[in-house]
Structure 1
């Protein structure tokens, strides 16, 4: 008689949330490509100034007067003041990326704080903070930044503060919605019953459970900050020459566009590809951290 005994099926252990999120992220090819590009760009702007044979403000006086062509000594040519264009592009990338990243951090911290207070305490606190947020949203960002930059000569730290203060509203609304939902969950009620105060409930129990959407918002804020800084520098209200940024490199190259387009194309491509990569990365993180299935 046949043996009818059944062997227990081998059940794969459940994967952790982090492993599932990583698997979903790796399936998002544009996000992976964007992450690789940003890592490579970050490595270039970090080590590039140390390996370049030129300083960003060093001049070749034999080339002053008009942009120089691309040669083996100057891969992207020289500008009208005889400065190496590739070195200035790399150094400008360091400034633009640093301002974008720091501005995004400022906006994320500020938006998270405002959204957390509004969503947790509700009532008049929510009304006051959200009406203030709505007022800031009604003000066109670029004209306000131009006004502030015109009143104060923007150094990199001041530009970071201006950019960060003016792009936090989306993060605040997102965090508020997350806190309104999470504050009613059972684990928050249990912590409240055990005597946890408001600050502990917000930052120890609720905030870690909202970190996914905040991460996505912070990633997208980097692209917004880079675009805003580049626009300000292009219009002449950002960081001033001789310190290069991608925006003011575009501004100075616009005068020579018909005779030396190789000065304008690289910084424009860097801005485009960096912002595109950041947006792809944000999309991938959203799909990985907030799956729809």
Structure 2
């Protein structure tokens, strides 16, 4: 007599939740170790700059009159040494980070905003609008940026706000050409034609449908513009055309240290390292964002 066997039931498979774009982006970004290191570095630098009054007992223009005349080497009292006026170099580097990072971030936001607006109008409307805006962009690109910024800074007293506006107002051309190319490509997609057929206005199509699909390259461009802004501010301050002493920036700290390179090299080493670390971190972050936002990756 044969034995009856119970029918075997197939195991119940619970469907996995759909992988959201945010999770894909985060997973791809975390795989880029240098980008993660760059992001953490920028966070640490931002916290150090924001908490500068709590991390040092000195003010950026406070002087130790007992040691005026000759820079002092790094010690327990002054971890990064002092300058010839008896000011703590560590305190000045921290406060300099505030200005340099603020100039880099805000100028990048201004240049990105202008570039997105001009590129979007040019790529969407095409025709005479495109021709006019792109020829103006070509003219701006043909002018060397650093000499132009130096000229404008020399004509006006270079305050922090003015320096941000000058750097941001003269750095939008690359973003404009990038956004124009994206808009020329995206405006021909089927969903744009559908939105236009449903009566969508030009502004709605541009900023509601096209711009969100172009946000990836724009974010990467903005990130890289931060590094360019920091470098340009440092170059201007080093040449004496940027923020004027006693307000410290990494650039004018280098300018002040140039006359002490042989006797007190630490005055140039520490602000120079801060510029190097910050720009590298920004570039690593930009590379990671570019890979994570690339739909082909």
TM-score computed with the length of structure 2 as normaliser: 0.95
Return the match for 2:166 from 162, 172, 191.
162
Query: What SS does the corresponding residue of 2:111 show, helix, strand or coil?
Result: helix
Which residue in the other structure is 1:290 paired with? 294
Which residue in the other structure is 1:258 paired with? 262
Return the match for 2:126 from 117, 122, 138.
122
Measure how far apart 1:112 and its partner are.
Answer: 0.4
Task: Work out which of the two has the higher radius of gyration on C-alpha atoms and give 1 or 2.
Answer: 2
Task: Give yes or no for the alignment of 1:50 onto 2:62.
Answer: no
Instruction: Give the distance between the partners of 1:202 and 1:292, measured in 2 at CA.
Output: 24
Task: Give yes or no for the alignment of 1:97 onto 2:101.
Answer: yes
Task: Give yes or no for the alignment of 1:268 onto 2:291.
Answer: no
Which residue in the other structure is 1:87 paired with? 91
Instruction: Give the distance between the partners of 2:6 and 2:283, measured in 1 at CA.
Output: 61
1:28-75 per-position Cα deviation (integer Å, ceiling 9, x unaligned): 000000001000000001002233110100111111111112221111
User: Deviating runs (4+, > 2 A) in structure 1?
Assistant: 1-14
Return the match for 2:238 from 226, 234, 237.
234
Query: What SS does the corresponding residue of 1:264 show, helix, strand or coil?
Result: helix
Return the match for 1:131 from 135, 146, 171.
135
Query: What SS does the corresponding residue of 1:225 show, helix, strand or coil?
Result: helix
Which residue in the other structure is 1:223 paired with? 227
Instruction: Give the distance between the partners of 2:188 and 2:11, measured in 1 at CA.
Output: 45
After superposition, where does 1:171-210 map in structure 2 within 5 Å? 171-210=175-214
Q: Which moved more, 1:280-289 or 1:184-193?
A: 184-193
Q: Which moved more, 1:21-30 or 1:185-194?
A: 185-194
Instruction: Give the distance between the partners of 1:186 and 1:263, measured in 2 at CA.
Output: 59
Structure 2 residue runs of 5 or longer lacking an equivalent are none
Measure how far apart 1:209 and its partner are.
Answer: 1.3
Which residue in the other structure is 2:27 paired with? 23
Structure 1 residue runs of 5 or longer lacking an equivalent are none
Query: What SS does the corresponding residue of 2:17 show, helix, strand or coil?
Result: coil
Return the match for 1:74 from 78, 100, 122.
78
1:185-236 per-position Cα deviation (integer Å, ceiling 9, x unaligned): 1222222122221111111121111111111110010000000000000111
Measure how far apart 1:98 and its partner are.
Answer: 0.3
Measure how far apart 1:5 and its partner are.
Answer: 6.4
Measure how far apart 1:8 and its partner are.
Answer: 6.1
Query: What SS does the corresponding residue of 1:187 show, helix, strand or coil?
Result: helix
Equivalent residues, number: 293
Q: Which moved more, 1:181-190 or 1:74-83?
A: 181-190
Instruction: Give the distance between the partners of 1:286 and 1:10, measured in 2 at CA.
Output: 34
Measure how far apart 1:14 and its partner are.
Answer: 2.5
Measure how far apart 1:291 and its partner are.
Answer: 3.9
Measure how far apart 1:4 and its partner are.
Answer: 7.5
Measure how far apart 1:11 and its partner are.
Answer: 4.5
Q: Which moved more, 1:186-195 or 1:21-30?
A: 186-195
